A and B are shown apart, each in its own frame.
Chain A
Amino acid sequence: MTGQIREQMSALLDGELPKGEVDLLVRRMARDVELKRAFGSYVLAGESLRTPGGVVASKGFAARVSAAIDAGEVAVEAAPPVPARPPLRWRRPLAATAVAASAALAAVLLVQPDAGDEQLFAERSGAPATLPVVTLPAGGSSPTPAQNQRLAGYLVTHGQYATPIGRRTAWSNALATDPGIARATDDNLEAP
C-alpha cells in the first residue's frame, strides 16, 4: 500500500499522475511527514543529477516556510480588487460650505456700490436714492462677532440643505441683480 502511494507520489512529481488520483494523494501527503520527507528526497536527487553541487536548501527549509506561514497566519489573498472610490457623502457639506463661503467673499469684495450705482439702482427700482442712515453700534462699521457667527451659520446651513441647482439659482439671481457682480462673475468664468 505504501509502495503504491509512493509510486503515485513519484508520478506526481513528474506531472504524470492522473488527475483523479491527485486529490487523495495530496490529502494523504499533507498529514504524512514521512511521505513529505520522501518527496523532498526525490526532488533533491533530481536537482543533484541536473546541477551537480551548488547551493541546496537545508534540511528543514520547507518546514520553516510552512511554520512561517502558520505563524504569520497569512492567508491566500484574492486578486486585489479595483480600488473603490471613497464615499462622496462627506464631500457634499464641505463643498457646499466652500461654495457658500466663496459667494459670501465675492459679495463682500465686489458689492461696494458708489454713489452712481446707488442712483442707477434707485432709478430702476423706484426706491429712494438716499437710504435712511442707520446708526451702527460703537466700534465702527464691522459686523459684530455675533453677527459674523450668525451669517456663517446661515451660509453653512444653506449650503447643507439647498440642492445644488437651488443654490446655483439663488446665487445667480442674487449676483445678476448687480451688473458689476455679473460682469465680474462672467470674467471669472472665462478664465482658463
Chain B
Amino acid sequence: MPMANFPPADGSTEPHEPRDDSARPASGVEQSDLELVRRVQRGERGAFDLLVLRYQHKVVKLVARLLRDPAEAEDVAQEAFVKAYRALGSFRGDSAFYTWLYRIAVNTARNTMASRQRRPLDYEADLSESEQSVVESRMRHGDTPEAAALSDEIHRTVNSAIEALPEDLRTAIILREVEGLSYEEIAEAMECPVGTVRSRIFRAREAIDRSLKPLLD
C-alpha cells in the first residue's frame, strides 16, 4: 500500500494532490474509487455515498487519533467528508482518492485543534499502513467505553463468523481482506477461476453480514 502523504504545516485546508504516486500502477480499489469519483463529478450524488461507506471507518479512526478525542471524531470526520465532496471537482486523479481524502481529514482535524489551541499530535511524518495500524491499536485506550465495547463485539462476531465458514470461503476472504491480494492473485493461490474467487468472497461476506446485522440494527 502506498505511503500516506500528509500536508505541509501551512495550515492550509486545500487539498493538494501529491505527484509522487503517479509512477505506480493504480490498484483495483483505486480504479474503482476513481470511477466513483468521476460519477460524482458528473453529478451522480449517490456515488459519493458509496465512497463515504467505504472510508468512514478509516477516516473516523484517523481523526480520532489526531484529536485524541473520539467523542468529537465523528463531527470532524463528517466535516472532512463534506469538504471532500465540495472539493471533488478539483480532484484530478493524480493520486489515490483515499490519499487525497486523508489529507483533507488531517487538515480538518488540524484546524479543529488550532481553533481550540491544543497541541497537535505529530502527524508530520509519513505513516505507513502498518504504522497506522499500530497507532490505531494504541488509540483504543482513548475510546469511549461504549465504542470500545461495540468494537470488541464486532470483532468477536466477525471472527466467529469467519471461523464458521467453509475453508475455501475463509481462505478467500482472508487473502482478500487481510493480505490485500487481487482476485487474480487469489485465483492463482487457490488454483481456481477468478469467477470462483469472486463468488467465494461474496458468500463469505454474506455470512459475516448475517452475523453482524443483529448487532448493528
Contact = CB atoms under 8 A, between A and B. Distances in A.
Provide the main secondary structure of the chain A interface: helix
A172 interface: no
Contacts of B29: 14-15
Interface residues of A, number: 55
B90 A44 contact: no
A45 B74 CA distance: 19
Given A68-B78, A69-B48, 5 more contacts: A15-B28, A19-B35, A41-B212, A45-B212, A56-B61
A31 to B, nearest CB: 7
Contacts of A7: 198-199, 202
B89 A39 contact: no
Q: Which 6 pairs of residues, A with B, have the shortest CB-CB distance?
A: A30-B46, A15-B28, A15-B32, A15-B29, A57-B56, A10-B202
Provide the main secondary structure of the chain B interface: helix
B177 A50 contact: yes
A39 B53 CA distance: 7
B73 A55 contact: yes
Contact of A12 (B32, B140, B206): B32
A66 B90 CA distance: 20
Contacts of B45: 30, 69
B207 to A, nearest CB: 10
Given A54-B140, A55-B143, A56-B57, A66 B209 contact: no
Interface in B123-153: 133, 136-137, 139-140, 143, 147-148, 150-152
A122 interface: no
Contacts of B43: 76
Nearest to B158: A48
Interface stretch (B4-12, B79-87, B105-113, B114-122): B79-87
Interface of B: 27-33, 35-36, 39-41, 43-50, 52-54, 56-61, 64-65, 70, 73-74, 77-78, 81-82, 85-90, 133, 136-137, 139-140, 143, 147-148, 150-152, 154-155, 158, 161-162, 173-174, 176-178, 182-183, 198-199, 201-202, 205-206, 208-209, 212-213, 216
B209 A38 contact: yes
B216 A59 contact: yes
Nearest to B205: A42
A52 B155 contact: yes
B156 to A, nearest CB: 9
Nearest to A56: B57
Contacts of B35: 19, 22
Contact of A72 (B57, B64, B82, B209): B82
B143 A76 contact: no
A58 interface: yes
A65 B27 contact: no
13 contacts: A41-B209, A43-B53, A43-B56, A45-B205, A45-B209, A47-B57, A55-B151, A56-B147, A61-B52, A61-B74, A65-B52, A68-B78, A76-B88
Given A30-B49, A39-B50, A51-B137, A76 B41 contact: yes
